[in-house]
């Protein structure tokens, strides 16, 4: 068993495999174990022995009106993991879709009014973020990859805002000391992100007719601080 666990919530196997590889590379870890929530119900025993968990992205949206049974189960399992982090039993870094799950769990609202297309974007750390052990060294601003259709309307109860920008005010927050939630994707390199785009070419994250142009912009971006965030997360808790 590794000291870190990657929790997968992507239905697309190829995208999931690539994301796992991205997290392993970003964390600099020889072993990052994997748990696929779409394979079946979560056995809480699978979380034992880990000091750190990273949750990947997904094409699911918590704001979807109609949800397949697998998505409902995944959301319930993510709430279980989030509660473990709130109770400081394990440190968890949620990304993308799962920040919406945590926001809803804390009584907050999620909106489709502040989406961000697949691209590199600049986010700013808040005063709380500047003093945070994970986000602080990246202050006052960092460039990360985004691609989402929904986001938190406002900071949910009990959370502290770590990072923001004009397009999506709630970019990252912390709950207590062990739960981190980010709207963006911290793990991919430009090459990783460009390759991931091929799995979601026609799913609404960008104009499919502009695929080559968007991919070229991604490949030319200078994005390194996401990886630094994850490594500091691992160093802090693992």
Which architecture does CATH list for 4-237? 3-Layer(aba) Sandwich (3.40)
Residue 40 confidence (pLDDT): 94
pLDDT band of residue 108 (cuts 50, 70, 90) is very high
Eight-class DSSP state of 171: S
Residue 184: name the closest of 102, 107, 122, 234 by CA. 122
Percent share of the chain, pLDDT over 70: 98
- Are 185 and 227 a contacting pair, CB within 8 Å? no
Q: Tell the burial category of 31 from Cβ atoms under 10 Å away from its Cβ (0-12, 13-18, 19+).
A: exposed
Q: What is the DSSP string of 114-151?
A: S-EEEEEEEEEE-HHHHTSTTTGGGTTEEEEEEEES-E
At 106 the three-state DSSP class reads: coil
pLDDT band of residue 3 (cuts 50, 70, 90) is confident
Distance CA 111, CA 124 (A): 21
Mean pLDDT of 169-188: 97
Distance CA 191, CA 17 (A): 15
């Amino acid at each position: 068993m590794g000291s870190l666990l990657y929790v997968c919530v992507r239905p697309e196997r190829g995208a999931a495999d690539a994301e796992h590889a991205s997290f392993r590379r970003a964390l600099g870890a020889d072993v990052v174990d994997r748990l696929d929530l779409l394979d079946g119900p979560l056995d809480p025993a699978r979380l034992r022995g880990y000091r750190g968990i990273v949750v990947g992205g997904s094409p699911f949206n918590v704001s979807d009106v109609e949800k397949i049974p697998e998505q409902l189960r995944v959301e319930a399992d993510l709430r279980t993991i989030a509660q473990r982090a709130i109770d400081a039993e394990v440190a968890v870094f949620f990304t993308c879709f799962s920040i919406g799950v945590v926001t809803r769990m804390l009584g907050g609202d999620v909106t489709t009014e502040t989406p961000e297309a697949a691209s590199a974007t600049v986010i700013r750390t808040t005063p709380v973020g500047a003093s945070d052990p994970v986000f602080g060294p990246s202050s006052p601003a960092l460039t990360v990859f985004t691609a989402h259709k929904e986001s938190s309307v406002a900071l949910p109860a009990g959370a502290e805002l770590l990072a923001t920008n004009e397009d999506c005010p709630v970019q990252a927050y912390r709950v207590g000391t062990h739960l981190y939630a980010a709207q963006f994707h911290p793990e991919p390199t430009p090459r990783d992100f460009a390759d991931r785009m091929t799995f979601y070419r026609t799913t609404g994250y960008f104009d499919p007719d502009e695929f080559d142009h968007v991919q070229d912009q991604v490949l030319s971006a200078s994005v390194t601080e996401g990886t630094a965030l994850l490594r500091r997360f691992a160093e802090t808790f693992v």
